[in-house]
Structure formats: C-alpha cells, structure tokens
Structure 1
Amino acid sequence: MSKDSHPHMRSFGRIKSRPIKPRQAALMDSLLPKVRCPETPFDPRALAPAATEVWLEIGFGGGEHMAAQAARRPDVLILGAEPFQNGVASALRHMDEQGLANVRLHDGDVRDLIARLPAACLQRVFILFPDPWPKARHHKRRLLQAELVEDLARVLAAGGRLRFATDWADYADWSLARLLASPHFDWPAARADDWRIPPADHITTRYEEKRLGDCAPVFLDFIRR
C-alpha cells in the first residue's frame, strides 16, 4: 500500500474488507510493483511514449470498467487510483488475465497522484459511482469538492473530458453545482436524455447493476474549456 499523506479530509472508508484471494495476493507482490505509478512527480507520457492519450479513472472499484476501456483502447495509457486494497487486487487480476500493458495504478488517495502530474497531461477523467456519503454531516467527505475540481482543471488538457456518474440524486445535484460553478468546465447537455442515458462508450459494471442508490444512474459529462 502506498504511504502517501496529504492535508485533505479522507473521502473513502475502509481500505480492506475480506481476505484477498491467494492468486490476487500474489499479484499484489509481483505485478503491482511493476505497474505502480511513480511516487515522485512524473509525466505519464514517459511511461508510455507511444500512447495517443492519457486517461485517469478515480476510484476504479474492482477495475472492471478500467480494464474494459484499456482493452478497447490499447493506444491509450490509463492511470487508475483506488485506495481499497481488495479493489486493487481485483484490478490486477483483470490486467493479468487480459494481458493489459497500458494501465498504471496508484493504490492510494487520488489527490496525491494528481499532485505529481504536470498540467494539461490528461485527455479524460472518469469518476464513476464514488462513495456518496449520503448523511449531511458526512458531505464534507465527498470526493468531488471545489478543491478537486480545480485540481482536475489543472491536469486536464483543453477539450479534455470529465465524466461523473452516480446513482444518488443528491450527489448528482451536489456535483453538478460544483462543476457548473467552475470557470474551467462546460456542460454540453441539452436535454434530459443527455444525463439519463448511459454514454455510448460507457461500460456497465457489476456495482452499477446492483442499483444501490436512490435513483437511476446519472451521467454528467463535462468538457475542459
């Protein structure tokens, strides 16, 4: 596990639940050190000079979406950040089974990773179904705060895209308000179907199919000005 530290309030809960399966535990020892993002400032292009774009998935869960996108776009380098060790282990399994060479992982808080990235180095960012922290007293723990919006604006190139998805109505409203308040992002949605219907390139995960929230999934796609 990465030993990052930062002044921000923790936006995630536990970092481990059930015991990690032996095969995945072995990958944590053998594969993770090879695909872990550098722990000092770095340019992601240096990790994959032939990549046409660099994407970031924040909180990739079990890694299904990230792995599927990486398989679909082998020309893209995908950075994935996830503090939950079981999720990291699951992602490593997907990478190993599919032979994915275009994924790099950060097993910790994404804000530490973003701080190491140069400006305008990303073309896409995914934040899919993050912890909603539904109780009002916990809203300060939600990931998508104004500070993170600013950080994402710094690392996204002009024309880059940010996708936020949630199945909690209040979190959708919360996130939309913060992104609309930013001078760095445009929301091109023109009708309800633009956020109610999954985007054509979206990949549904098992978590999404469980419908644990209080509304149908909402997809908010923004463009960096």
Structure 2
Amino acid sequence: MPTGKEDPKDIVQRDRVFYGRRRGRRLRAGMETLLETRLPELRVELPDTPGARLDPRRLFPPDTEEIWLEIGFGGGEHLAAQAEMNPRVGFIGSEPFMNGVASLIRHCEDRGLGNVRIYPDDVRDLLAVLPDGCLDRIAVLFADPWPKKRHHARRIIQHETIAEFHRLLKPGGELRLATDDMGYLRWMLARATANEGFRWLARGPQDWRVRPDDWPETRYEAKARAQGRRPAFMRFERLDTTG
C-alpha cells in the first residue's frame, strides 16, 4: 500500500516491467556532457500529483500547431528529420535507451532544433498521464519484434496500447507503424484493424511496401534493407467515433 510519502511517479511505475537495455557501450565524453547539460532542459517530467494530466502543448511555444509523439526513436534520426521539416510541430520522443537519447540530443544541437522534447523512460507511464485527444500523430517505428512466442507479451503493440493510441489521438490523427519482421507485421496489423476506431489507409500493396516521401529513413530500415529484409510501413487514421 502507498505510504503517502512516495513519489507518485514511483507508484505509477511499480507494476511496470521494462524489457530492454538502458545503456549500451560507454558514451564519449562529449555525448555524456550533452546528456548532463541538455537533457534536463528537454526532459518531459510527469506530474507530481496523483491523477493529474500532462498537457503536452505546455511543453512548446503557443504557436505550435500540432503535437507528434514518436515511441522508441532509436538513434533519433527520423524524429530529428521530421522536426526539421515541420518546425511548427512539437515533437515528443520517448526512448529509455540512453545512448539513443544522447544521439537525438546531438541531432538537435547540430540542426538547431527547438521543437523537440524527450521522455527518457518507459513510454507507458507517459501515455497514462496524457489527456484524451491531445496528439495529432503517433509513430512506432521498427520496435523490437520479440520474435519468440514466449516473449510476445513484451511487444509494445498490443490491443491495449492500440486502444490507448486511439484515446490519445485526435479524430483524423495518424498512427504510423513500421517493421521489417513479417511475424510482427501480421501481429500489428491484426491488432490495429481489430480496433474499429482506426482505418488502415492502404489501398494496395505499394501503400505499405513503399515508404511515403514524408517519412525519413531510420538506421534500422537501412540495416534491414542491407540484410535483405523488406520493411513495411503502415498508416492508420483515427476515426471520429463520437457520432
């Protein structure tokens, strides 16, 4: 039972089981310095009050037109490219792997990006405190497919997370999913299409076999192609189910 003296963020995370790495190879001194100096300015903090919501628009200037969330941004090259192409969009990137966080911060520094914020932890805790209909786009690109059957429960895409994405997206908002694992492709497609609040935007094979022009390549896509795997790109529209 909570003692009343615990940080609400610790209470939220108590029942979470995180699978994956927090750190990889040791960062160079310059990258460690970026983490120490810039991450505190870019970091998204969860509310301290139990039950409170985090309005993502408060993280960005008043003239920000849309809010996009990328879950598991890896090295940050896709998020940074999108942020550069869409300066009036506020970008929130979630990634618990600190080497990837440092990489995104470096991209932001090199490109002079001021429209990026980072949640360097388990995204489920962030999703839980965001209000309904606060996002215009969610992207989950090349997430770990956890291919062994006994590990399927670890996959980020589940019926529950698809329902949470539906809650968070505005009507007309877009969910983007990508993978190079055909088993995970079938898994994601089955769960996304099972939710009647989403409409798959593909009209033919080319719509999911070819990456859209406004969808920058990630390092994971490049690696998959180099190893002979064909990536798949899926786009879903959040329908207005209020009528």
TM-score (norm 2): 0.88
Deviation per residue, 1:138-166 (Å, 9 max, x gap): 11110101111111111100000000000
Q: Is the contact between residue 169 and residue 214 of structure 1 (CA under 8 Å) also seen in structure 2? A: no
Q: Is the contact between residue 128 and residue 165 of structure 1 (CA under 8 Å) also seen in structure 2? A: yes
- Structure 1 residue 119 corresponds to structure 2 residue 132: yes
**1:38: Cα distance to partner?**
2.2
| Aligned residue runs from structure 1 range 32-181, under 5 A | 32-40=39-47, 41-48=53-60, 49-181=62-194
Does the residue aligned with 2:234 lie in a helix, a strand or coil? strand
Deviation per residue, 1:99-157 (Å, 9 max, x gap): 11000000001111111211101001111000010111111110101111111111100
Q: Which has the higher contact order (CA 8 A, sep 6+)?
A: 1
Q: 1:216 to 1:134 in 2, by over 3 A?
A: same
Larger Rg over CA atoms: 2
Q: 1:145 to 1:6 in 2, by over 3 A?
A: farther
Q: What is the distance in 1 between the residues matched to 2:129 and 2:86?
A: 24
Q: What is the distance in 2 between the residues matched to 1:8 and 1:149?
A: 18
Deviation per residue, 1:145-191 (Å, 9 max, x gap): 11111111111000000000000000000000000111210112111
Q: Is the contact between residue 167 and residue 215 of structure 1 (CA under 8 Å) also seen in structure 2? A: yes
> In the alignment, residue 215 of structure 2 is paired with which amino acid?
H
Q: What is the distance in 2 between the residues matched to 1:206 and 1:122?
A: 25
Q: What is the distance in 2 between the residues matched to 1:197 and 1:9?
A: 35
Q: What is the distance in 2 between the residues matched to 1:7 and 1:173?
A: 28
> In the alignment, residue 62 of structure 1 is paired with which amino acid?
G
Q: 1:214 to 1:127 in 2, by over 3 A?
A: farther
TM-score (norm 1): 0.94
Q: Is the contact between residue 6 and residue 112 of structure 1 (CA under 8 Å) also seen in structure 2? A: no
The equivalent residue for 2:195 is 182
Q: Comparing 129-138 with 199-208, which one deviates more in the overlay?
A: 199-208
Q: Structure 2: where are the runs of 5+ without partners?
A: 1-8, 48-52
Q: Structure 1: where are the runs of 5+ without partners?
A: none
Matching residue within 11, 15, 21 for 1:7: 15
**1:47: Cα distance to partner?**
1.7
Moved over 4 A (4+): none
Q: What is the distance in 2 between the residues matched to 1:148 and 1:19?
A: 32
> What RMSD, in angstroms, separates the aligned Cα atoms of the two structures?
1.6
Q: What is the aligned-residue identity percentage?
A: 46
Q: Is the contact between residue 169 and residue 215 of structure 1 (CA under 8 Å) also seen in structure 2? A: no
Q: Is the contact between residue 132 and residue 168 of structure 1 (CA under 8 Å) also seen in structure 2? A: yes
